[in-house]
């Protein structure tokens, strides 16, 4: 049977996947391309799952049965998208795994000109202190080496004091800043990291332009260009504390005239989020809608309620 016929077109086609697995041991460029495509499909599936987890959409049709069929749909969509080389991850794998000179005709996966060299992400060492997020980490304005909240509740609890201070400065509500940070980082599970793996602590996805004098984290990101998702390599700002990320977010908005309209209506959280999106804060056309969806979710409301209660108990 032709190996092309064995390539799974449906995610439940286990016979096709088994045939591909049997051929994977051969040093065959065509087979490598198909295996790389399967890996890209798995990556896209994980990305779709993370997006759904971050959106926290709730409705009358939500149920475990709906989630099951939704998962099946995502797996099939991931397989279809991978065949169209939508992300280019398969191309990158083929170039890396093929013998030198065998993949010269592969197209470049980075959109735009090569990124200028940037200094490596360097975080100051932190003194050990037992806590919820690890013995080598510190909260507040103290330097941290990493940050990995294990639940949305922990995410909100640890960011809440910083969100309150930043929201007071901007004239908005802290829930909005928490929701935006949750969208940008997947509730802290997908933080921007430098090439050395260090956490940038960049909660708001702010890129490092030519005027930024601080540490940077060079990484690949997904942007929407001309209605399509594209992978780009870009430098992002890096901070040595969670408080530093919030403080720079406030300064960033105030220093950019294009966000003045958003600041003028900061007391209206949905309008503020919409104005940020319209001013070009993110390339995602539904950026503000996703922020509003997280703000309206019961998970965020419950987490904020718990953070307020903990704060009240601590004060007295």
Q: So where are the chain's domains?
A: 3-97, 152-315
Rounded-to-integer distance, Cα 41 and Cα 81, Å: 7
Rounded-to-integer distance, Cα 79 and Cα 299, Å: 31
Helix, strand or coil for residue 205?
coil
The CA angle 167-133-52, to the nearest 5 degrees, is: 65
The contacts found for 108-115 with CB under 8 angstroms, 24 or more apart, are 109/231, 110/220, 110/231, 110/232, 110/233, 111/223, 111/225, 111/230, 111/231, 111/232, 112/232, 114/233, 115/218, 115/233, 115/234, 115/235
pLDDT for position 28: 63
Tell which residue, 263, 293, 231, 299, has the closest CA to residue 51.
293
Candidate list 223, 232, 268, 292, residue with the active-site label: 223
pLDDT for position 116: 39
pLDDT for position 283: 85
Any bridge partners for residue 148, and if so which? none
Report yes or no: 111 and 231 within 8 Å, Cβ to Cβ: yes
pLDDT for position 162: 97
Rounded-to-integer distance, Cα 229 and Cα 10, Å: 23
Q: Map tokens 């960033």 to a residue.
A: 252
Mean pLDDT, consecutive 10-residue stretches, the chain (316 aa), reads: 43 50 59 69 72 60 60 68 60 60 37 39 35 34 68 95 97 97 94 89 93 89 65 87 97 96 96 95 91 95 93 82
Report the 10 Å Cβ neighbour count for 274: 18
Rounded-to-integer distance, Cα 138 and Cα 123, Å: 13
Report which DSSP code applies to 258. Answer: G
Report yes or no: 104 and 98 within 8 Å, Cβ to Cβ: no
The yes-or-no answer on residue 240 being catalytic is no
pTM over 0.85: no
pLDDT for position 315: 81
Pinpoint the alpha helices (H) of the chain. 3-6, 14-23, 29-55, 64-83, 89-97, 152-170, 174-185, 242-255, 260-264, 269-278, 287-295, 298-315
In the CATH scheme, what architecture does the domain 152-315 have?
Answer: Orthogonal Bundle (1.10)
The yes-or-no answer on residue 223 being catalytic is yes
């Amino acid at each position: 049977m032709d190996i092309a016929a064995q390539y799974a077109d449906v995610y439940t086609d286990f016979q096709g996947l088994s045939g591909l697995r049997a051929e994977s041991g051969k040093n065959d460029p065509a087979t490598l391309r198909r295996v790389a495509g399967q890996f890209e499909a798995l990556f896209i599936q994980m990305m779709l799952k993370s997006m759904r987890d971050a959106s926290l959409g709730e409705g009358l049709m939500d149920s475990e049965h709906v989630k099951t069929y939704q998962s099946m749909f995502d797996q099939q969509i991931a397989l279809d998208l991978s065949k169209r080389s939508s992300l280019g991850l398969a191309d990158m794998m083929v170039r890396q795994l093929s013998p030198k000179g065998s993949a010269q005709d592969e197209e470049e996966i980075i959109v735009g000109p090569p990124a200028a060299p940037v200094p490596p992400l360097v975080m100051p060492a932190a003194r050990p202190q037992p806590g919820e997020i690890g013995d080598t980490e510190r909260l507040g304005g103290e330097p941290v080496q990493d940050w990995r909240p294990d639940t949305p509740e922990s995410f909100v609890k640890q960011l809440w004091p910083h969100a309150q201070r930043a929201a007071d400065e901007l004239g908005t509500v802290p829930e909005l800043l928490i929701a935006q940070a949750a969208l940008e980082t997947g509730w802290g599970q997908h933080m921007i990291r430098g090439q050395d793996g260090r956490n940038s602590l960049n909660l708001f996805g702010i890129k490092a332009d030519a005027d930024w004098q601080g540490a940077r984290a060079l990484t690949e990101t997904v942007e929407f260009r001309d209605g399509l998702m594209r992978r780009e390599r870009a430098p992002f700002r890096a901070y040595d504390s969670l408080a530093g990320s919030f403080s720079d977010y406030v300064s960033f908005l105030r220093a950019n005239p294009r966000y003045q309209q958003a600041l003028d209506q900061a007391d209206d959280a949905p309008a503020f989020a919409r104005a940020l999106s319209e001013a070009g804060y993110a390339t995602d056309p539904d950026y503000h809608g996703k922020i509003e969806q997280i703000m309206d979710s019961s998970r965020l409301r419950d987490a904020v309620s718990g953070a307020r209660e903990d704060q009240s108990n601590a004060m007295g």
